[in-house]
Amino acid sequence: MKRAVVNLTSLRPIWSIPEDYIPTIRKAFGKGWDVAHVTTPVSSDGDGSGGSTEAIDAVTGAEVYFGWGISPDVVRAAGENLRWVHTAAAGVGGSLTVELRKSHALFTNSREIHAEPIADWIVAAVAFCARGFHGAMVARSEHRWAKPELAGLETPLRELKDLRVGLVGLGGIGRAAARRLSPLGMEVNAIRRRPTRRRPKGVSWVGGPGDILPLANKSDVLVIAAPHTSDTVSMVSEAVLSSLPHGAHVLNVSRGALLDEEALLRQLDYGHLGGCVLDVFSTEPLPSEHPFWGHPKVFLTPHVAGVTQRFWDRETEFIVDNIDRYLRGKPLRNIVNYSVGY
């Protein structure tokens, strides 16, 4: 009998698969499959982990593994039978170990599943920036009526339809954001690793990584939504930030490593940038002494842009569809390319 392991019980309840979803997965595999459900909670933060003793015991000889990432210990325990690994996380960097690469197992992730709520976060953050909420929040903390500065001749308030949004990354998150932003009247441009002539819906122009400075130059809001790889670390550098128009805003929903945070602080303090909204940071949790906490131009959320109560409906539907594809020998959705890192 073939074996599959479901290791999706998280330390955070909202990311822990409900018990009543397990029968759906078992049914999808059908007869001839033993589907083990691991109930020891593991970390689902970032790229996940998944190396509990229970998981290691359960995965011995398994052909399929579903988890919050996969640790080297789990890969080794599975042995040569391992053929398909799926992570419920969008990020995969923590799982791309030597052990997993040597296994030659297919590796899929959940980037499409997380895209919808993160795109909603992007829309909310763009509106927050456009309508001057940074200044309003500072005035509120000071018990100060800020109408003179917000309604003055040099008002920072903008209409959404007047904004140009630059997307650094045009994967599931970028495309979902474009589908929301464009109908609101915004011009949306983007860069991606491999630009093509075909533009996704809502995107006016698509360039490659080498076009990040021209993209910044014409972006009133720059959204960082590219995957974390060796090629994307610090790609939003001081040169990029200084190329943004005066008063522009920066949003980050990818990983903190893609953004030069010290350069961002300098550009904010110089007065070149109007503000930023950040959901991810180079160090998480963000240290209590970090200057982001008290900065008047910084609004932050604690890596929760992807949180939604609809996650397990979408994730289970995705898993079941990929199980069907796997059993029929069809191409799986969201296969991770080991060579490029996502």
3-state secondary structure the chain: CEEEEEECCECCHHHCCCHHHHHHHHHHHCCCEEEEECCCCECCCCCCCCCCHHHHHHCCCCCEEEECCCCHHHHHHHHHHCCEEEECCCCCHHHCCHHHHHHCCEEECCHHHHHHHHHHHHHHHHHHHHCCHHHHHHHHHCCCCCHHHHCCCCCCCCCHHHCEEEEECCCHHHHHHHHHHHHHCCEEEEECCCCCCCCCCCCCEEECHHHHHHHHHCCCEEEECCCCCCCCCCCECHHHHHHCCCCCEEEECCCHHHECHHHHHHHHHHCCCCEEEECCCCCCCCCCCCCCCCCCCEEECCCCCCCCCCHHHHHHHHHHHHHHHHHCCCCCCCECCCCCCC
Answer yes or no: is pLDDT of 80 > 90: yes
Give residue-wise pLDDT tens across range 84-101. Answer: 999 999 999 999 999 999
Average pLDDT over residues 55-62: 96
Share of the chain above pLDDT 90, in %: 94
Q: Which of 51-55, 209-213, 284-288 has the lowest mean pLDDT?
A: 51-55
The pLDDT mean for the chain works out to 96
pLDDT at 50: 67
Q: Which of 31-35, 277-281, 324-328, 337-341 has the lowest mean pLDDT?
A: 337-341
Q: Identify which has the larger pLDDT, 49 or 255.
A: 255
pLDDT at 299: 98
pLDDT at 197: 74
pLDDT at 144: 96
Average pLDDT over residues 255-282: 98
Give residue-wise pLDDT tens across range 15-45. Answer: 999 999 999 999 999 999 999 999 999 999 9
Give residue-wise pLDDT tens across range 112-158. Answer: 899 999 999 999 999 999 999 999 999 999 999 999 999 998 899 99
Average pLDDT over residues 4-9: 97
pLDDT at 148: 93
